Amino acid sequence: MTIFKFTAAAAVTALLAFTAAASEAPVPPAQSWSFSGPFGTYDRAALQRGFQVYKEVCAGCHSLRHVYYRDLAALGYNEDEIKAIAASVEVQDGPNDQGEMFTRPGRPYDRFKSPFPNDNAARAANNGALPPDLSVITKARPHGHDYLYALMTGYKEPPADMKMTEGMQYNTAYAGNQIAMVPPLSEGSIEYKDGTKATVPQMARDVTVFLAWTAEPEMEERKRLGYKVLLFLLVLTGVLYAAMRRVWSKVH
């Protein structure tokens, strides 16, 4: 699997997008995740469903600038499927021999296509707000995985005594409880390819798993390496102990 190369600037950008509200946001309820703990792994079925949610819902506003189409192999997609996914978008390339830019179907080595050509265009399409890139979003917020799930499932009717700013939505997980983003998920808004019922909690959980993977695709490899290191240290400890006993057995 290709390991994503994130720059420090990218991580800082994602972090700053949420820092202002982080100190005031309520602590989200803890969820159970398959990838938590020293032996945790990503659920491949959930990853593919989460990618489907991102592609059909989130990709209209949010980018994944640090993810390549070829990286989807880690989710269980084969080469032909990845080529088809990449070719479903048009990307800008060039310049050609005449010095002109041109568009072509996407290829596996391309980064995920961003929904807007630049940040100014993104702000213009979202009433001045810049939708954050989601590549490392689960690392940009305390309790990142739990927070994302709580945010996407936290849209409610505001209390009768709360005055809402025009254009804002009430959300129990967001700092101040007022958020500009409209509810991204609605019951049955997508049809899962594996037949899973697309409830709001299910879609929120699946896309959170997918975004946890985009932020830390090397997690499983890192844990496997950790097991090997611990096993090596355990064996080494046994060898050193045996050697010590043998050496000191001759000392009276």
**pLDDT greater than 80 at residue 96:** yes
39: left (phi over 0), alpha (psi -120 to 50) or beta: alpha
- Residue 195 domain flag: yes
Q: What percent of the chain has pLDDT over 90?
A: 67
**pLDDT greater than 80 at residue 206:** yes
Per residue in 11-46, pLDDT (tens digit) is 444 444 444 444 467 899 999 999 998 889 999 999
Indicate if 153 and 246 belong to the same structural domain.
Answer: no
Kindly report the average pLDDT of the chain as a whole number: 88
- Cα distances (Å, whole numbers) of residue 43 to 3, 46, 205, 217, 251: 18, 5, 11, 13, 56
Higher pLDDT, 37 or 69: 69
Per residue in 149-198, pLDDT (tens digit) is 999 999 999 999 999 998 899 999 999 999 989 999 999 899 999 999 99
Indicate if 57 and 129 belong to the same structural domain.
Answer: yes
Indicate if 240 and 145 belong to the same structural domain.
Answer: no
Q: Looking at residue 224, what is its pLDDT?
A: 87
Q: What backbone phi and psi angles, to 5 degrees, belong to 192? A: -65, 140
Q: Do the beta carbons of residue 28 and residue 172 sit within 8 Å?
A: no
Indicate if 18 and 130 belong to the same structural domain.
Answer: yes
Lowest-confidence region among 47-51, 55-59, 95-99, 213-217: 95-99
Q: Looking at residue 24, what is its pLDDT?
A: 67
Question: How many structural domains comprise the chain?
Answer: 2
